[in-house]
């Protein structure tokens, strides 16, 4: 499944490695010379509802993890009430382990993201955009701040903005740097963080579109989602729908390309743009130069640790939004897989991921706060060879009981822990069983 033409990375000729400070950033002038802000100009000639309708018809699914269609989300905004501001929060928290895709856009083509932001604000009639960026992304925050200044000077944002008078709608745009916690990437944790509070997710409903930042209607979208909007506006819905794949279950399709950051045991790790639906094996073999050192594929974290793992027989899994149903993982997530070769210790992988979830739980919900600690303790015991089969069963039982989908927690962080543990134990059960003792043998009677 070859990429016929790059869309998101069209101004990024090859994915360079090395120090980001040495890389070429597409500035405003270069962006405009290469058709930048043409889509915004076209959007401003349309009614906001038409622009929103176009994004809705394109079925642009969110690139932040859940795959919720952007246009549909935008359509949930209530009509303007004149009682205060309406917000766009751009999610560049990117703290999901193994995920490094949004930073690529900010690193090289920040104006593409800003164009998407401006179009979204026009379509949804939003007044303020907050670019919420991961605390560790110091360089990217500076790049974005500079690009925003250029966009103000060019009449895109501010009172004299929206392409210098084409529209009287005024949008202010700010960078907000995260203090640095995974939970601040969850959309309502993010809202709390911008409000200056501890990043504790809120109970939903009400959803942010109705009651979000400072209690006002708010759209939260991922960086990559917004970066896809300009091309949809300039090239149309039919073009967009010609890329990607339909759902094999008669559900929502997976249109467009996706940034896929591949890490782990491959020859050439990196972030690549590929059409949705590409088999994981093709991504590894064609884009990443194959498995490192010619080793065999053992498994993969599907798309950020929250999605769970793919087993040895799932190397050909199609990377689209149906992957959850097809391959018994939570979903496509960020589409940034971590690849494991035949030498990988899957118990150690599970323990490492469990430590992450334990450390990042915000502590509001008992199943997540306590469960994540118990899971880590059990996995440590299994890893050290101190556990019994009863511990393995208990591990799966605890994991299975926590999460939004189970109705026991406020946010999806616990679902990530649940899926990671359940899928890794299920798909590599033999490896876990070899590390535990039968439950009927008392520990003090066994040889160490
Ligand atoms: C624990 C947790 C962390 C998340 N982190 C991110 C993140 O770093 N970036 C992101 O875009 N979405 C993240 N999400 C998903 C957001 O809650 C939200 O669905 C997303 O930003 C919406 O944008 P989209 O519809 O454009 O994908 C996270 C969700 C959870 C539960
Ligand atoms: S599920 Fe975990 S991270 Fe999410 S709100 Fe509850 S305790 Fe916090």
List domains and CATH numbers for the chain. 20-243 (3.40.50.11540), 263-341 (3.10.20.600), 346-433 (1.20.1440.230)
Q: Whose CA is nearest to atom 10 of ligand 1?
A: 64
Residue at token pair 């501890």: 198
Protein residue closest via CA to atom 22 of ligand 1: 221
pLDDT band at 14, cuts 50/70/90?
A: low
Question: Do the Cβ atoms of 318 and 326 come closer than 8 Å?
Answer: yes
Mean pLDDT value across residues 202-207? 97
Residue 18 confidence class, pLDDT cut points 50, 70, 90: low
The response to whether residue 408 sits with its C-beta less than 6 Å from ligand 2 reads no
Exposed, middle or buried, 198 (CB in 10 Å: 0-12/13-18/19+)? middle
Q: What is the mean pLDDT of residues 19-35?
A: 84
Q: Output the CA 143–ligand 1 centroid distance in Å.
A: 22
Q: Work out the number of other CB atoms within 10 angstroms of the CB of residue 425.
A: 23
Ligand 1: does its nearest atom lie under 6 Å from the Cβ of 413? yes
* Distance in angstroms (rounded) separating the CA atoms of residues 132 and 186: 11
Average pLDDT for 156-163 = 90
Single pTM value for the model: 0.95
Q: Nearest bound ligand to CA 100?
A: 1
**294 C-alpha to ligand 1 centroid (Å):** 35
Q: Which of 88, 238, 102 is nearest to 176 (CA)?
A: 88
Residue 221, CA distances (Å) to 19, 194, 410 in order: 28, 15, 20
For ligand 1, is residue 361 a contact (CB within 6 Å)? no
Q: Give the phi and the psi of residue 339 in degrees, each rounded to 5.
A: -100, 135
pLDDT band at 440 (very low <50, low <70, confident <90, very high): low
Q: CA 399, CA 418: separation in Å to the nearest integer?
A: 4
Mean pLDDT of the chain: 94
pLDDT for residue 351 is more than 60 = yes
pLDDT number for residue 302: 87
Ligand closest to 358 (CA) is: 2
pLDDT value, residue 432 = 97
User: What average pLDDT score do residues 213-233 get?
Assistant: 98
pLDDT(359) > 80: yes
Query: Is pLDDT above 80 for 1?
Result: no
Q: Which of 61, 65, 66, 200 best tests ligand 1's pocket when mutated (most atoms within 8 Å of CB)?
A: 65
Q: How far is the CA of 62 from the centre of ligand 1 (A)?
A: 9
Closest residue to atom 18 of ligand 1, CA basis:
187
């Amino acid at each position: 499944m070859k990429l016929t033409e790059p869309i998101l990375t069209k101004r990024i000729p090859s994915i360079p490695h090395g120090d980001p400070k040495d890389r070429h950033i597409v500035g405003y002038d270069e962006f405009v010379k290469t058709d930048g802000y043409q889509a915004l100009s076209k959007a401003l000639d349309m009614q906001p509802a038409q622009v929103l309708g176009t994004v809705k018809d394109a079925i642009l699914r969110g690139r932040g993890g859940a795959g919720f269609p952007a246009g549909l989300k935008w359509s949930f905004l209530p009509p303007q009430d004149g009682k205060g501001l309406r917000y766009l929060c751009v999610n560049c928290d990117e703290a999901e382990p193994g995920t490094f895709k949004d930073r690529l856009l900010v690193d090289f083509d920040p104006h593409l993201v800003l164009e998407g932001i401006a179009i979204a604000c026009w379509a949804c009639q939003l007044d303020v955009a907050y670019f919420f960026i991961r605390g560790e992304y110091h360089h990217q925050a500076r790049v974005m701040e500079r690009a925003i200044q250029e966009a103000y000077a060019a009449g895109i944002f501010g009172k004299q903005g929206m392409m210098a008078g084409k529209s009287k709608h005024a949008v202010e745009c700010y960078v907000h740097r995260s203090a640095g916690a995974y939970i601040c990437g969850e959309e309502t944790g993010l809202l709390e963080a911008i409000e200056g509070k501890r990043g504790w997710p809120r109970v939903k409903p009400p959803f942010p579109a109705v009651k979000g930042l400072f209690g006002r209607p708010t759209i939260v979208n991922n960086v990559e989602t917004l970066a896809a909007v300009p091309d949809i506006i300039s090239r149309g819905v039919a073009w967009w729908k010609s890329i990607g794949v339909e759902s094999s279950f008669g559900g929502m399709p997976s249109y467009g390309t996706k940034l896929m950051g591949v890490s782990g045991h491959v020859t050439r790790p990196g972030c690549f743009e590929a059409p949705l639906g590409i088999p994981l094996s093709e991504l590894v073999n064609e884009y990443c130069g194959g498995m490192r050192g010619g080793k065999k594929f053992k498994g993969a974290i599907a798309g950020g640790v929250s999605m769970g793992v793919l087993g040895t027989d799932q190397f050909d899994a199609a990377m689209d939004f149906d992957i959850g149903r097809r391959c018994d993982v939570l979903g496509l997530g960020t589409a940034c897989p971590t690849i494991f070769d035949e030498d990988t210790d899957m118990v150690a992988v599970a323990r490492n991921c469990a430590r992450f979830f334990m450390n990042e739980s915000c502590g509001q919900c008992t199943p997540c706060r306590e469960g994540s600690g118990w899971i880590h303790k059990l996995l440590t015991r299994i890893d050290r060879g101190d556990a019994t089969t009863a511990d393995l069963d208990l591990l799966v039982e605890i994991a299975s009981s926590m999460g939004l989908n189970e109705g026991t927690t406020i946010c999806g962080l616990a679902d990530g822990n649940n899926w990671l543990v359940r899928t890794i134990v299920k798909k590599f059960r033999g490896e876990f069983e070899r590390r535990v003792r039968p439950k009927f043998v008392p520990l003090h009677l066994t040889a160490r």
